[in-house]
Amino acid sequence: MKNSAMESRRAAFLDDLSSQVALVLRELNIADAKAEIAAAEVTAKIVANFGGQQLYIPKDYTHKSQERALAIYEACNGRNHSEVARQFDISERSVYRIFKRIHAQIIAQNQRDMFNSH
């Protein structure tokens, strides 16, 4: 019996997911064999946790999320967290959390590496 178009798309999606995870792991200097095993495990976990559900994956979510986080960070002046929370329709706690995360990223980017003096 022939696979349906939906089954083919599902298989292609899961294969691509596994390939993308393995690629990221290799970019993080994980050995090829370990990257492949980990990618297969991640894919299996996603299937186990979300199998049978319909999911919508927004395009460019991470980039848009980071842009929004930067806008929130830039809107903060240290005394206006509640105003920023209202402006972005989020909780004050979220404003503090986002501010802390972006601030740490900025510090990490600007900090020199003690062991790499190039």
Kindly indicate the confidence band of residue 1, based on its pLDDT and cuts at 50, 70 and 90: very low
Please state the rounded mean pLDDT for residues 102-117: 80
Please give the share of the chain, as a percent, with pLDDT higher than 90: 64
Please state the rounded mean pLDDT for residues 100-106: 93
Q: Which CATH number fits domain 61-110: 1.10.287, 1.10.10, 1.20.1270, 3.30.420?
A: 1.10.10
Which among 45, 38, 11, 44 is positioned nearest to 22, based on CA atoms? Answer: 38
In the chain, domain spans: 5-50, 61-110
User: Any idea which residue has 């050995």 for tokens?
Assistant: 31
Kindly indicate the confidence band of residue 103, based on its pLDDT and cuts at 50, 70 and 90: very high
Greater confidence (118 vs 51) lies with 51
Spatial distance between the Cα atoms of 43 and 18, rounded to a whole number of angstroms: 6
Q: Determine contact, residues 80/88, Cβ cutoff 8 Å.
A: no
pLDDT at 61 over 90: no
Q: Determine contact, residues 98/69, Cβ cutoff 8 Å.
A: yes
